[in-house]
Structure 1
Amino acid sequence: MTGAATGRTSGVSRRSLRMAVAGGSILTVLLLCAIAAPWVAPYDPAERVTTPFAKPSGAHWLGADDVGHDLLSQLIYGARVSLLIGVVAALAATVVGALVGVLAGYCRGSVDAILMRIVDVILTLPVLPLTIVIGVFMGPGLTTQILVISSVLWAGLARELRSQVLSLRERDYIHSLNSMGAPTWYVLRRHISRAVFPLIVPQFILAVKTAILLEASLAFLGLGDVTNASWGSMLALAQGRNAFLTDAWLWWILPPGLAIALTVLGFALIGNALEERSRPVLLRRKKIKRGDEGRAQSTADEPAGRADAPLVIENLTISYGEGRLGVRDVSLTLGVDEVVALVGESGSGKSTVAASTIGLLAPAAEIVGGAVRVCGQDVTRLPLRDLQALRGSRIALVPQEAMSALNPVRRIGDQLVESVLVHTSCTRDEARERSVDMLEKVGIDASRIDAYPHQLSGGMRQRVVIAMALVNEPAVLIADEPTSGLDVLMEEEILELLLTLRHSLGLSLLIVSHNLPIVERIADRIAVMKDGEIVEIGSVRAITTNPQHPYTRRLIDAVARLEPAAELQAAR
């Protein structure tokens, strides 16, 4: 399985590399011709060197125009103008678009509203008519072409970057910088700009491609600089001087047309290759054919009634991009009223598996194989509407950063009531009554329902998050490191609370943790993960007293115990 997945993703990598090499080769040849035009071109493009409409010959490979100018020389010099306008206009559009997108996304408020309304206006106007209107108003010339093209290209980039910055702005490390008093411009320069730069580069390359096409269109319409030959102006002159009435179109129109097409193709190949590498979620992958290699060792049978199990994970494989599999062929069944602990070192893939069960994978992650069934429904194939209906009602999550999962400016009661109203049609009073009841079940006095999160201790906030997860009585609860950030005594209380709720509510509970001694006390079975795979799964007694996999043995041996594991299990 691993070999197949690696082969698939490395195949995608080779495809991107081939595209980049092909595009780079095309552009290198064109760029060298543009730079070396005074030495490569056989004649001065503005000089009459032969008879009008001269046919191709050994002295004039592409013949001549209606005045007697050598068309090959014009084609070589035209590369200079077309590439110059394309690169400069795209660079200006990229700089403006990046500044607008970053400022709008980070500053938000009135700055965002004003900038995005301007972007909306630009995007709603048709590109070619807009460029024609601006070009006619400003008059023909190279400066006009650059200003016109850049003025219509920046808006799309600004909108895309804004959405990325809005997401980045809410990251914990950005909040940490702000809490330490970092100035806005420092955060933008040192952190936000570096995070979005991999997205800007491919957008610039693709903007050059579009700019070259627009330059050819403007020149063809007579808005170019007639004193500097470009590929677009060659086409405009050929069309205006009746090249189609003679055989001259074969050597006057086809060569510049092919040059434009090759240049656009070169930039498109490089841009697409860079975009695939900078945004792995765009990679197109087929599902992986899974073999029997690397399957987890099992020291205990799966729970009876697999078809009725509330959570079934089958051969789950998740990729984070080219050759980076975060989860490999994971299979796990959570039975009715069962507690399964998923343990392993940091980075082993535990949280990725937990996120996949509720359809909340990170943007860069993609399920490339397998299925995740919650109460018979495959989460990996559900439409968004059905998935949202499933979350919080049939399956719920206690996130890894549970204590920061509450909205700090809303009362906990309002947040609990909101959780109820999303999935039920009851009145607000009924939802509040249910919320009070759930708070009491998790050990919080009903009088605290109108408290704000900052008025509660860390352990109480953890209990509120658990109450929010369970208020709609889900069949499955995923607890991802539910005791992280708590002291030892509070860890014990939270786990005992989960165990109590499991029995009183009939929960099936999947606990993700790296703390083996803690989960031993409440789990029915333990699944051990390493490097994205479940290497061993079995009952708590089997795992702790007779581990089969070397990694499991090291994990057990690393735990300091006051009593042997066998005595611990006998006491349970």
Structure 2
Amino acid sequence: MSRTLALWRSLPLTSRLGFTIVAALILLALFGPLLAPYDPIERVTTPFAPPSSAHLLGADDVGHDLLSVLILGARPSLLVALLAAVAATCVGMLVGISAGYLRGAVDTVLMRIVDVVLALPVVPLTLVVGVLAGPGLFTQTLVISIALWAPMARELRAQVLSVRERDHIHALRAMGAGHGYMLTRHIVPAVGTLVVPQLVLAVKSAVMLEATLAFLGLGDVSSMSWGMMLSIANERSAFLTDAWLWWVVPPGALIGLTVLGFALAGGAVERTAAGRTVRPTRRRKPAPASAASTALAQTAPEAPLLEVDQLTVRYGDGEAATGGCTGVDLVLPRGRVLGLVGESGSGKSTVAAALVGLMAPAAQVAEGGIRMDGTDLLVLGPRERRGLLGSRIGLVPQEAQSALNPVHRAGDQIAEAVLTHQDLTREQARARAQELLDLVGLPAHAFRSYPHQLSGGQRQRVVIATALANDPDLLVADEPTSGLDVLVQQDILDLLSSLRERLGLTMVIVTHDLPVIAHIADDIAVMQAGFVVEQGETLRVLASPDDPYTQRLVGSLPDMAEFEEVR
């Protein structure tokens, strides 16, 4: 209670005023029949009776008590607005999230529909639909929903497009997480903070639209909402007498007050909901073993684990296609470490992305193959390829801070990787996550730490633990020491070397840092402008490079002998 009171006191005065108005209106709608002094459908006084102590707002042209009609009008006004806002929000969520997440043809079709709805003028659209459907509460709800869902869909789509490209979502894909899991666990919670304020603000707009439709004659006469009161007052010449003062002004004022209350409350919710995230604890079923993964598991251990044959990747289509890599040939035996090295734009990250199947949308494999245990990964379907990610193939992304979801604890994120591929209880997965944290040298309290509470080196250890969650055969590390200071880099390299020896890992390490390759890699492949210009055993290539580009790379390393002589 004290926490709620503290939160209430922390709100601005306008926000508290908005919530107070909304609460009062809801109570008025719920307890209206108890508060109304008369039955609103009974004639209790003379027509057009002015306000008096017995009838505070006077009477209409029939003799109905206007105060009773006004009190009972809160229920249909708010009910229609709420139902329409909920329906519009649900449709907007479905369309916006589907378009933003699936993209491609689905995005194009759905967004063109949204464009058409947004281009249509609201009032003529409501009149056409209303006339076709006939007056009534259902018609009002339907028309208001049609008018409100499209702006929500467009805004949610933009947010989903942004969230979908974040590094921690790519890390989930690298773990082999399915679309349903990513949507329910990460995408929807990330954009869900927008839904509640949109819903509250939609109620505000729906109240105005309900009053407009009722005034235009599309309301339900049997449900005397505030908009219907205005419509009947206009039809029965209230403006020709003084009756408009007590027949028109009160419902108009309540409509304005309702809009103000929901606008202020919606703004407060929009500001405070950003830090809240739904955290479902639903147990995940393991991804079914595909024929490809079964075939990989049955391959003879003597064969090379990874073979890249004439891999060519281009960005774009047709003659405009550029960049990527060209004719890359690599062979990686089991238990060895291959270093892909080159300057920025050399194509090394493109090769790594192709290995794990997480290429940019514009990237296309023009030719070549990637075989793991003799099975070409490029011919597998999306579901089979995803089944290998996180189980047979682990990824250590470049930016650990971006790869970790900032609103989930480190241990829970490792447990996610376990639950994606293994049929374990959540408690068992958490125990496995704790083992992995211990394996990478992190203390027990790191399990409950958020990413921002960990240092750069500790975050890097967390993503390494995540990549190792399901004992992969191949570990792809993209710039694993990028952004770390020299001492922490050394710790991470020592950790990878130790894990390689203890677990028998086969690794591909992508970097532009030759000392990193010299420290850990058995073999090296040097890339320039998309081509592998030289490859071989690391010690031989670094000691006696053949290609002029490799010679320049090696020659760019500082000579520490001069510094040692000075010392």
Kindly report which structure 2 residues correspond to 1:464-479, keeping only aligned pairs within 5 A, or say none.
Answer: none
User: Retained in 1: the 8 A contact 2:314–2:323?
Assistant: no
- CA drift of 1:102 comes to 0.6
The aligned residue for residue 199 of structure 1 is 194
- Please say if 1:213 is aligned against 2:219: no
Q: 1:130 aligns with which of 106, 125, 132?
A: 125
Paired letter, 2:260: L
Paired letter, 1:454: V
The aligned residue for residue 73 of structure 1 is 68
SS in 2 for 1:68: coil
User: Retained in 1: the 8 A contact 2:8–2:16?
Assistant: no
- CA drift of 1:277 comes to 2.9
Q: 2:22 aligns with which of 22, 27, 34?
A: 27
In structure 2, distance between residues paired with 1:114 and 1:491: 42
- CA drift of 1:183 comes to 2.4
SS in 2 for 1:487: helix
User: Retained in 1: the 8 A contact 2:204–2:259?
Assistant: yes
- CA drift of 1:119 comes to 0.6
- Please say if 1:454 is aligned against 2:348: no
The aligned residue for residue 101 of structure 1 is 96
User: Retained in 1: the 8 A contact 2:28–2:71?
Assistant: yes
In structure 1, distance between residues paired with 2:354 and 2:215: 71
- Please say if 1:47 is aligned against 2:53: no
User: Retained in 1: the 8 A contact 2:341–2:512?
Assistant: no
User: Retained in 1: the 8 A contact 2:88–2:146?
Assistant: yes
Kindly report which structure 2 residues correspond to 1:51-66, keeping only aligned pairs within 5 A, or say none.
Answer: 51-66=46-61
The aligned residue for residue 257 of structure 1 is 252
Paired letter, 2:242: D
User: Retained in 2: the 8 A contact 1:409–1:452?
Assistant: no
Question: 5+ residue gaps in structure 2?
Answer: 1-6, 276-311, 325-339, 356-396, 399-481, 498-510, 518-562
User: Retained in 2: the 8 A contact 1:83–1:212?
Assistant: yes
Paired letter, 1:28: A
CA pair 112-263 structure 1, distance change in 2 beyond 3 A:
same
Kindly report which structure 2 residues correspond to 1:228-307, keeping only aligned pairs within 5 A, or say none.
Answer: 228-278=223-273
Q: Deviations over 1:267-291 (max 9, x none)?
A: 00011112223459xxxxxxxxxxx
The aligned residue for residue 422 of structure 2 is none
**Which TM-score applies when normalising by structure 1?**
0.51
In structure 2, distance between residues paired with 1:23 and 1:408: 56
Q: 1:18 aligns with which of 13, 28, 39?
A: 13
The aligned residue for residue 487 of structure 1 is 493
In structure 1, distance between residues paired with 2:199 and 2:39: 33
Deviates more, 1:36-45 or 1:481-490: 481-490
Root-mean-square deviation (Å): 4.0
The aligned residue for residue 108 of structure 2 is 113
CA pair 492-225 structure 1, distance change in 2 beyond 3 A:
closer
Kindly report which structure 2 residues correspond to 1:311-390, keeping only aligned pairs within 5 A, or say none.
Answer: none
User: Retained in 2: the 8 A contact 1:410–1:452?
Assistant: no
- CA drift of 1:449 comes to 5.5
CA pair 40-408 structure 1, distance change in 2 beyond 3 A:
farther
In structure 1, distance between residues paired with 2:342 and 2:176: 35
Paired letter, 1:188: L
In structure 1, distance between residues paired with 2:185 and 2:140: 34
Q: Deviations over 1:62-83 (max 9, x none)?
A: 0000010110001000000000
- Please say if 1:173 is aligned against 2:179: no
In structure 2, distance between residues paired with 1:29 and 1:279: 26
Identity %: 54
CA pair 76-482 structure 1, distance change in 2 beyond 3 A:
same
**Which TM-score applies when normalising by structure 2?**
0.51
CA pair 269-445 structure 1, distance change in 2 beyond 3 A:
closer
- CA drift of 1:111 comes to 1.2
Paired letter, 2:135: P
In structure 1, distance between residues paired with 2:343 and 2:269: 56
SS in 2 for 1:195: helix
CA pair 445-101 structure 1, distance change in 2 beyond 3 A:
closer
SS in 1 for 2:168: helix
In structure 1, distance between residues paired with 2:350 and 2:97: 31
In structure 1, distance between residues paired with 2:28 and 2:95: 36
- CA drift of 1:163 comes to 0.7
The aligned residue for residue 472 of structure 2 is none
- Please say if 1:184 is aligned against 2:179: yes
CA pair 408-36 structure 1, distance change in 2 beyond 3 A:
farther
- CA drift of 1:18 comes to 2.5
CA pair 183-54 structure 1, distance change in 2 beyond 3 A:
same
- CA drift of 1:171 comes to 1.9
In structure 1, distance between residues paired with 2:54 and 2:196: 42
SS in 1 for 2:73: helix
CA pair 19-408 structure 1, distance change in 2 beyond 3 A:
farther
- CA drift of 1:153 comes to 0.4
- CA drift of 1:31 comes to 1.4
Q: 1:88 aligns with which of 75, 83, 90?
A: 83
User: Retained in 1: the 8 A contact 2:341–2:348?
Assistant: no
CA pair 56-111 structure 1, distance change in 2 beyond 3 A:
same
SS in 1 for 2:194: helix
In structure 2, distance between residues paired with 1:174 and 1:455: 17
Q: Deviations over 1:538-567 (max 9, x none)?
A: xxxxxxxxxxxxxxxxxxxxxxxxxxxxxx
In structure 2, distance between residues paired with 1:23 and 1:456: 50
CA pair 571-203 structure 1, distance change in 2 beyond 3 A:
farther
In structure 2, distance between residues paired with 1:252 and 1:40: 19
User: Retained in 1: the 8 A contact 2:19–2:261?
Assistant: yes
Name the count of aligned residue pairs. Answer: 322
User: Retained in 2: the 8 A contact 1:408–1:452?
Assistant: no
Kindly report which structure 2 residues correspond to 1:221-232, keeping only aligned pairs within 5 A, or say none.
Answer: 221-232=216-227
Q: 2:135 aligns with which of 131, 140, 144?
A: 140
Paired letter, 2:145: S
In structure 1, distance between residues paired with 2:131 and 2:122: 14
Paired letter, 2:88: A
Question: 5+ residue gaps in structure 1?
Answer: 1-11, 281-406, 420-441, 463-478, 497-567
In structure 2, distance between residues paired with 1:569 and 1:128: 82
In structure 2, distance between residues paired with 1:138 and 1:277: 39
Paired letter, 1:51: T
In structure 1, distance between residues paired with 2:133 and 2:25: 30
- CA drift of 1:444 comes to 4.9
Paired letter, 2:493: D
SS in 2 for 1:20: helix
CA pair 492-154 structure 1, distance change in 2 beyond 3 A:
closer
User: Retained in 2: the 8 A contact 1:16–1:276?
Assistant: no
Paired letter, 2:50: K
The aligned residue for residue 532 of structure 1 is none
